[in-house]
C-alpha cells in the first residue's frame, strides 16, 4: 500500500481524509503563501497547492503527496486568510449579500514515478445580507482567522450562507470527489479501500 502524505496543516483537510478511512501522515509544507500578480484565481490556487506538495515530495523517494490550497474570490479580489480582526470584518462585509467563488487547487505527486497531477474545483457560494452585529459576533467567535475568506461553512459560518452551487467539501477545503479521481490515477482507490473496511463519511468534521 502506497504511503500517503498530506502537505497541509489544515484540520479540516485532515478530518476529511480521516473520515474517508485513509491512513496517512501530515507534514507541514515550508512555503510562503504569497498571492502572485497576473495569475487567475484557479491558477493561483493550483500554484500554491503545487508549491506545498513539492516542498514535501522533493524530500521523499516513495509515496504519494497531496497538496491543496483554497482561495475565495469576489469580483476581481482574491481573499486569503484575515490577518486581524478588522481585516476579518472587512472581508465579511464585502461578502455580505453577494455571490463569491471558493476555489481549491489540488496537486497529487507520486514520488516514485514523478507523476504530478493538478486540478482546481470551484463552488459558487451565496451569502445572506449580514447585519453589522452578526459580523461582529461571528468575528469575535474566533472562527474566521485561519480560513480563506474569513469564514468556515462547516462551523458557525454555515449561518452566514444562503446556498451553494457545487461541491460542499470544496468550501470546507478539499473537494474529495476530485481527489478520489486523482488518487485513482496513481494507484490508490479510496472507495475500494473504504468498502473493504466498512467505512463511510460521517459529518463530524
Residue with cell 445580507: 129
Catalytic residue, candidates 69, 110, 162, 189: 69
- Annotated active-site residue 110? The verdict is no
Q: Could you tell me which residues are beta bridge partners of residue 107?
A: 67, 118
CA atoms within 13 A on the CB side of 10: 25
Distance between CA atoms of residues 107 and 51, nearest Å: 9
Report yes or no: 105 and 48 within 8 Å, Cβ to Cβ. yes
Distance between CA atoms of residues 82 and 29, nearest Å: 20
Residues with Cβ within 8 Å of residue 164, at least 6 apart in sequence: 123, 124, 125, 126, 153, 171
Angle of helix 132-140 versus helix 85-95 axis, rounded to 10: 140
- Strands (E) in the chain, as ranges, are 4-6, 25-26, 64-74, 77-79, 99-110, 116-127, 161-165
Single out the residue of 7, 1, 40 nearest to residue 21, CA to CA.
Answer: 1
Write out the catalytic residue numbers: 69
Amino acid at each position: 500500500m502506497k504511503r500517503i502524505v498530506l502537505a497541509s496543516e489544515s484540520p479540516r483537510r485532515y478530518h476529511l481524509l480521516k473520515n474517508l478511512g485513509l491512513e496517512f501522515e501530515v507534514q507541514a509544507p515550508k512555503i510562503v503563501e504569497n498571492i502572485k500578480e497576473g495569475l487567475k484565481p484557479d491558477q493561483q490556487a493550483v500554484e500554491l497547492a503545487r508549491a506545498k506538495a513539492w516542498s514535501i515530495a522533493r524530500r521523499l523517494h516513495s509515496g504519494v503527496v497531496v497538496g491543496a490550497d483554497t482561495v475565495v474570490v469576489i469580483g476581481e479580489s482574491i481573499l486569503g486568510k484575515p490577518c486581524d480582526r478588522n481585516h476579518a470584518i472587512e472581508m465579511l462585509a464585502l461578502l455580505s449579500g453577494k455571490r463569491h467563488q471558493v476555489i481549491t487547487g489540488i496537486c497529487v505527486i507520486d514520488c516514485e514515478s514523478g507523476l504530478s497531477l493538478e486540478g482546481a474545483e470551484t463552488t459558487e457560494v451565496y451569502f445572506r445580507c449580514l447585519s453589522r452585529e452578526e459580523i461582529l459576533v461571528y468575528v469575535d467567535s474566533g472562527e474566521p482567522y485561519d480560513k480563506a475568506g474569513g469564514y468556515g461553512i462547516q462551523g458557525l459560518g454555515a449561518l452566514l450562507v444562503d446556498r451553494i452551487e457545487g461541491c460542499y467539501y470544496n468550501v470546507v477545503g478539499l473537494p474529495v470527489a476530485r481527489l478520489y479521481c486523482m488518487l485513482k490515477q496513481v494507484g490508490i482507490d479510496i472507495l475500494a479501500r473504504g468498502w473493504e473496511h466498512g467505512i463511510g463519511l460521517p459529518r463530524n468534521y
